[in-house]
């Protein structure tokens, strides 16, 4: 495999290529934008441009030895860090550091085998202090091949919140303040507001905007081989983010991982608004008692589902791609006489739960509390008799 050319964001790429040619790129960058919009891919493209032996005004030459190695993620001076699940059986700092380095190697091998594969699972992931330390140690060494080295720190907001305060983040601060000569640090984040202000202030920020619908559908047709109709349907669900579009792609007959999470979110909404309280208890108990941080995607989709509920209540169809849920949402709206004006406070409850999910809370209690709150916000009237009684 070789990394494909970065798709879209042409003017951004041009500006970066020009800055690279003029050697005016800052030593510490923070690339932010919505999840799946291509931040890490852009960071990898920029890393290739920085390591390239003959970069031009359009970025990496794609032809030199460095470009070949970097394109295969085998360049010794390209270091890509991303959040990982906590390794099991790593009970000393040394063992943890080694286990994390092994897991990172495995994840890179998976990525090399299939760069378009996206994994969405509910396992909580972090950037650990051990990884931050290993990164800092590497950054203080000289590059192996050329004059430059690049460190990509993806999803930088996940710098181990469960570890003693912000030690992992602090381990990076000095490095960000004064990157060693020839060293570029590129952080990416979909939630830059959750980064330490001291990290934000030490980086030059770069926003990656969503792609147009046409750009996403063209990508899906040309790189994934989707038929026009399916490419348009998935494109409509993507919100301009290729990573999100890929998450909706099923394997064979199966649903895509994001479609699964969306269904789960709708199931939770159904449980919150079921006739009796049992459905909410059952839905909450179906979660594991640990790992609340894995719930963030689910809560994001729950918020989207609430948006569609509000649209349904005003008589507007749900967002493009979700029209199939029309009947389900209309039934809920009719049963409880839901008014669009009630939905924003329900969304706030989801937002509160999302913030709590970042901490060390029991997911069963968190979900149960949230479903209780949603019911309170959305059922300000008695259920209509005509539609009542169903447990959906």
Site for Zn ion, rule CB under 5 A: 52, 60-61, 64, 67
3-state secondary structure of 29: strand
- Least distance between Zn ion and beta carbon 59 (Å): 9
User: For residues 38 and 6, is the Cβ–Cβ distance under 8 A?
Assistant: yes
**Choice between 66 and 312, CB closer to Zn ion:** 66
Query: Cβ contacts of residue 265 below 8 Å, gap of 6+?
Result: 298, 299, 301, 302, 304, 305
Q: Where are the alpha helices (DSSP H) in the chain?
A: 10-21, 39-51, 65-71, 93-113, 129-140, 167-177, 197-201, 213-219, 228-237, 242-247, 257-272, 278-285, 296-313, 326-336, 343-357, 363-378
- Cα–Cα distances (Å) from 336 to 5, 144, 344, 387, 392, in that order, read 50, 65, 16, 9, 13
Nearer to Zn ion, 18 or 125 (CB): 18
Q: How far is the CB of 42 from Zn ion (least distance, A)?
A: 17
Decide whether 45 or 287 has the Cβ nearer to Zn ion: 45
Length of the chain: 392
- Closer residue to Zn ion, CB minimum distance, 52 or 96: 52
Q: Give the Cα separation of 287 and 310 in Å (integer).
A: 27
CB of 150 closer than 8 Å to CB of 51: yes
Q: How far apart are CA 283 and CA 311, in angstroms?
A: 25
Q: Measured from the CB atom, is 21 or 61 closer to Zn ion? A: 61
Smallest separation, CB 65 to Zn ion (Å): 8
Local structure of residue 221 (DSSP, 8 states): I
Q: How far is the CB of 55 from Zn ion (least distance, A)?
A: 6
* Beta carbon of residue 43, minimum distance to Zn ion (angstroms, whole number): 17
Smallest gap from residue 14 Cβ to Zn ion (A): 17
Rounded least distance, CB 66 to Zn ion, Å: 5
Of the two residues 15 and 54, which places its CB atom closer to Zn ion in the complex? 54
In the complex with Zn ion, the residue whose CB is nearer, 69 or 365, is 69
CB of 62 to Zn ion, least distance (A): 6
Four-residue CA torsion sign, 224, 72, 55, 187 = positive
- H helical segments located in 87-128: 93-113
């Amino acid at each position: 495999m070789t990394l494909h050319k970065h798709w879209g964001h042409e003017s951004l790429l041009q500006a970066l290529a020009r800055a690279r040619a003029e050697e005016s790129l800052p030593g510490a960058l923070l690339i932010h934008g919505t999840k799946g919009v291509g931040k890490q891919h852009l960071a990898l493209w920029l890393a290739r441009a920085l390591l390239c032996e003959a970069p031009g005004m359009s970025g990496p030459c794609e032809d030199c030895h460095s470009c070949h190695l970097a394109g295969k993620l085998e360049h010794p001076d390209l270091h890509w860090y991303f959040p990982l699940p906590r390794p099991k059986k790593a009970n000393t700092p040394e063992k943890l550091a080694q286990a994390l380095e092994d897991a990172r190697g495995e994840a890179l091998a998976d990525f090399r085998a299939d760069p378009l594969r996206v994994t969405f699972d509910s396992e909580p992931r972090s950037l650990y202090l051990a990884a931050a330390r290993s990164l800092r140690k590497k950054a203080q060494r000289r590059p192996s091949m050329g004059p430059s080295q690049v460190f990509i720190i993806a999803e930088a907001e996940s710098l181990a919140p469960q570890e003693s305060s912000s030690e992992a983040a602090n381990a990076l601060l000095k490095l960000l303040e004064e990157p060693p000569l020839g060293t570029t640090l590129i952080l990416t984040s979909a939630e830059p507001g959750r980064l330490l202000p001291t990290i934000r202030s030490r980086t030059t920020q770069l926003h990656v905007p969503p792609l147009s619908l046409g750009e996403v559908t063209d990508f899906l047709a040309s790189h994934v081989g989707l038929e026009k109709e399916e490419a348009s349907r998935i494109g409509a669900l993507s919100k301009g983010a290729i990573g999100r579009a890929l998450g909706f792609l099923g394997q064979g007959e199966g649903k895509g991982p994001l479609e699964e999470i969306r269904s789960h979110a709708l199931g939770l909404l159904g449980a919150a608004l079921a006739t009796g309280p049992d459905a909410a208890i059952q839905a909450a108990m179906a979660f594991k008692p640990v790992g609340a941080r894995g719930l963030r995607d689910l809560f994001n989709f729950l918020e989207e589902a609430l948006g569609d509920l509000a649209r349904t209540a005003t008589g507007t169809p749900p967002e493009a791609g979700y029209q199939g849920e029309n009947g389900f949402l209309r039934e809920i709206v009719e049963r409880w006489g839901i008014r669009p004006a009630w939905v924003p406070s329900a969304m706030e409850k989801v937002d509160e739960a999302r913030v709590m999910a970042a901490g060390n809370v029991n997911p069963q209690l968190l979900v149960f509390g949230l479903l209780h709150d949603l019911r309170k916000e959305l059922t300000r009237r008695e259920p209509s008799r005509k539609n009542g009684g169903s447990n959906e």
